[in-house]
Every structure is written in structure tokens, then in C-alpha cells.
């Protein structure tokens, strides 16, 4: 890959509009071997297959912005969550269809209709208790800073 190819790919990934357009028309990422440019390629195949077009966009958006939820370090995906509950909330929304539900002045974390892929997530992100965190928090207040996760999904729904 030439330097100009890397620069172009970097510009495309930084420009969310171009990325959304590329995903909407099903254009595959050029040069999937460049894992830092395509974090999806770092996910285990079984976990990647659980993502559809919209959730792939959300996952990729989680690597961007001033407070990215994930980063790529030495060819591995690192999550930047301070609390496992927020990571569990993100994974629950991404893979299970979990969602916040407004009740009076607070958001309640409601369970989606799909199973939590505990083993696959543990393989990729380490053996942390994301599933247990999710189970403990369901039907309670959304975790602190849940808006950082919610905005990623709101951008897709509009």
C-alpha cells in the first residue's frame, strides 16, 4: 500500500459521511489487511457475523471522535471504558438490541430480544464480566455516561 493510499484511506475513515456512504452501498473496505484502518477485521469471524450494516456503522463510529470508546493498539482492539457496566451497555445495545427507556426523569436500561454473546466478546476483549454487569444493570438506570454510547446509535437511526 502506498503512502497516498494510506492517506486517502485515513481521510475516508475520518469522514463519517464518506464512511456511511461506503457502508450504505456495500463497498468493501479497500485493503482489509490494514487492520488499523478497518477495526472490523480484528473481530473474530463469529462476532463479526452478528453485525449488520447499521451495527457495523455504530461499531466503527466508536473508534472516532474526541472520546473514542475503542482504539486499535498493536493490532488489537482496546476498549476505553472506565467501568465494565458502560462496556456491557454498549455490547448489549450492539449485539442484543438493548435500549434505554425514558421513565419520568431517568433512562432505564431495557433488555433486547437477542442473547448476549459472552464467549465471543470474552475472546476479543478479555474475560471480563460484561454479561454479569449487563444482567445486574438491566431494568435499572442506564450506566453513567450512557449518552456516549446512545449518541452512536442515534446517529444511525436518523
54 burial via Cβ count (<10 Å: 0-12, 13-18, 19+):
middle
Note the pLDDT of residue 96. Answer: 92
| Average pLDDT of the chain, as a whole number | 76
pLDDT, residue 150, reads 93
Give pLDDT tens digits for 75-100: 888 888 878 889 899 999 999 999 99
CA distance 40 to 107: 30
pTM assigned to the model = 0.71
Amino acid at each position: 500500500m502506498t503512502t497516498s493510499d494510506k492517506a486517502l484511506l485515513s481521510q475516508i475513515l475520518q469522514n463519517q459521511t464518506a464512511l456511511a456512504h461506503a457502508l450504505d452501498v456495500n463497498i468493501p473496505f479497500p485493503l482489509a489487511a490494514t487492520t488499523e484502518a478497518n477495526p472490523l477485521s480484528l473481530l473474530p469471524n463469529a462476532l463479526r457475523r452478528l453485525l449488520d450494516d447499521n451495527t457495523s456503522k455504530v461499531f466503527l463510529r466508536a473508534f472516532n471522535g474526541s472520546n473514542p470508546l475503542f482504539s486499535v493498539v498493536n493490532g488489537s482492539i482496546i476498549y476505553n471504558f472506565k467501568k465494565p457496566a458502560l462496556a456491557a451497555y454498549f455490547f448489549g445495545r450492539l449485539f442484543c438490541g438493548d435500549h434505554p427507556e425514558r421513565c419520568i426523569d431517568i433512562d432505564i436500561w431495557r433488555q433486547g430480544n437477542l442473547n448476549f454473546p459472552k464467549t465471543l466478546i470474552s475472546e476479543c476483549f478479555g474475560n471480563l464480566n460484561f454479561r454479569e454487569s449487563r444482567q445486574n444493570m438491566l431494568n435499572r438506570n442506564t450506566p453513567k455516561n450512557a449518552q456516549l454510547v446512545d449518541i452512536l446509535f442515534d446517529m444511525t437511526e436518523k
